[in-house]
Structure 1
């Protein structure tokens, strides 16, 4: 598969995951910190105000960063914490599928984590950091391939 196609599909995946987290974050943003804290506290989640701040921050600000490809590993880890927290604290008793099931939060958490560490070159992370790292290893890799190709097989 071409590198270009890999990068475009990583971008598409990042955008899809970010849009879903962002939509859930906007709901919490509209409730406000107090309303979101009341909601999560009513579900028995500890430290409801801290949790509300975390969820709103990750789902709104983190999603903007994730879509742009900024701080991908960090946001991926935060998405995993967000989603797995929802799975274990809210959705687990409902089972995998059906009303209130955890299939969506499981997929979002792990897709966010995977894309956080494999976000592709169409990202601000690559533009700001990856080119410098990739340029050195790419040129070393090209030299190694050229030497290998010229080396006779014994």
Structure 2
């Protein structure tokens, strides 16, 4: 019972984090690559066009992948990179809390990273990769018990 509850809460966590990143990615998409790159250049981000494309891809495509639980460690790392860029270029001068502070950026990055490396059993990663590893480990454990 506890394992099911844990897996559902991990799924809900992934969905919650992904929805926030997806909303920001769709805002960037609406502004276009040029508009997003222009903003990034204005706040002093290096290689603003590359940064804009990366942020849009992570926040839209990565969020879709995060919701279904596919390649979650990579998406979690992508969330951290995007968040560090936002924190250093936009939010750092506003402090941790208050208007424009970086508390939300920090929480999203850390939660995305944590969930990326532990997406739970309700994920494509588990179905495609980790279940096979668990079966191999169980089989090798059974072989040790019978030896």
TM-score normalised by the shorter chain: which range applies? Answer: over 0.9
- Gap regions ≥5 residues in structure 1: 148-154
Deviation string, structure 1 residues 2-53 (Cα, Å, up to 9, x no partner)? 2111111110100000000000000000011001001111111111100100
Q: Which runs of 4+ in 1 moved over 6 A?
A: none
Bigger Cα Rg = 1
- Structure 2 residue runs of 5 or longer lacking an equivalent are none
Alignment of 1:1-154 (within 5 A): 2-140=2-140
Root mean square deviation, CA, Å: 1.6
Alpha-carbon deviation of 1:139? 4.7
- Post-superposition offset of 1:136: 2.1
Relative to structure 1, is the Cα distance of residues 34 and 135 closer, same or farther in structure 2, using a 3 angstrom cutoff? Answer: same
Could you state the TM-score of these two structures normalised by the residue count of structure 1?
A: 0.88
**Distance in 2 separating the partners of 1:15 and 1:125:** 15
After TM superposition, give the deviation of residue 138 of structure 1 in Å: 3.6
Residue-by-residue CA offset, 1:98-119 (whole Å, 9 max, x unaligned): 1110000000001000000011
Aligned residues: 145
The 2-side partners of 1:141 and 1:37 are apart by: 53
